[in-house]
Amino acid sequence: MALKATIFKAELQIADMDRGYYGSYALTLARHPSETDERLLIRVLAFCLHAHEDLGFTRGLSTDDEPDLWQRDLTGRIEVWIDIGQPDEKRIRKACARAAQVCIYCHSGHGAELWWQKIRDRLERFDNLTVINIDAAASQSLARLVQRSMQLQCTIQDGQIWLGDADTSVQADLTAWKQPG
């Protein structure tokens, strides 16, 4: 028998002073049986960084032709494609052809660095691709915020990002490995 996804609920408050964006969201997150708490919260962090009324979670790990999050316009065209982890080159090429903007959020320390060293030269030609590495200590700390029902706040100011609940706040240190143009 196949394992079912675990459902998490999150009340999320976003204050992105850098973009002048403020919003409240009631999120329902399905965690695939193979997904870690760390990856689940990185999806939430990516949502915070790209927050928009049209941004949404997809079926994620259970579907090969969809990203973890995407923003689509009214015609169905993909404006933003967001993947978490270390996708293969073929998937990245496909995403860059289908979406106006592609963002990849890597985590897992040395493993992410090895992946990037191996693949970066072949990705230089994609002007719509952003690759961001999340500090390993920060991504592991994010996992400690996971509960079945969460009250989270995200603050973004002057390039600094904090995600937390009533008891804990995690500063997410991000390094841009590749930016558009």
Cα 163 to Cα 181: distance, rounded to the nearest angstrom: 29
For residue 50, give Cα distances in angstroms to 87, 113, 123: 19, 24, 22
Whether residue 172 lies inside any domain: the answer is: yes
- The confidence score (pLDDT) of residue 61 equals 55
Whether residue 94 lies inside any domain: the answer is: yes
Indicate the pTM of the whole model: 0.93
Whether residue 43 lies inside any domain: the answer is: yes
Residue 171 pLDDT grade (very low, low, confident, very high; cuts 50, 70, 90): very high
For residue 75, give Cα distances in angstroms to 47, 72, 79, 103: 22, 8, 11, 21
Whether residue 1 lies inside any domain: the answer is: no
pLDDT at 95 over 90: yes
- The confidence score (pLDDT) of residue 94 equals 95
Whether residue 56 lies inside any domain: the answer is: yes
Query: The CATH number of the domain where 61 resides is what?
Result: 3.10.640.10
pLDDT at 62 over 60: no
37 and 146 Cβ atoms separated by less than 8 Å: yes
Average pLDDT over the chain, rounded to an integer: 93
pLDDT at 156 over 60: yes
Number of domains present in the structure of the chain: 1
pLDDT at 2 over 70: no
**Partners of 27 in the beta sheet?**
10
pLDDT at 146 over 60: yes
Whether residue 2 lies inside any domain: the answer is: no
pLDDT at 169 over 90: yes
150 and 11 Cβ atoms separated by less than 8 Å: yes
- The confidence score (pLDDT) of residue 59 equals 73
Instruction: Tell me 67's DSSP state.
Output: -
- The confidence score (pLDDT) of residue 33 equals 87
Cα 58 to Cα 29: distance, rounded to the nearest angstrom: 10
31-45 pLDDT, tens per residue?
988 889 999 999 999
Domain that holds residue 42: 7-178
Whether residue 65 lies inside any domain: the answer is: yes
Helix or strand (DSSP H, E) at 78: strand 78-84
Whether residue 11 lies inside any domain: the answer is: yes
Cα 106 to Cα 176: distance, rounded to the nearest angstrom: 10
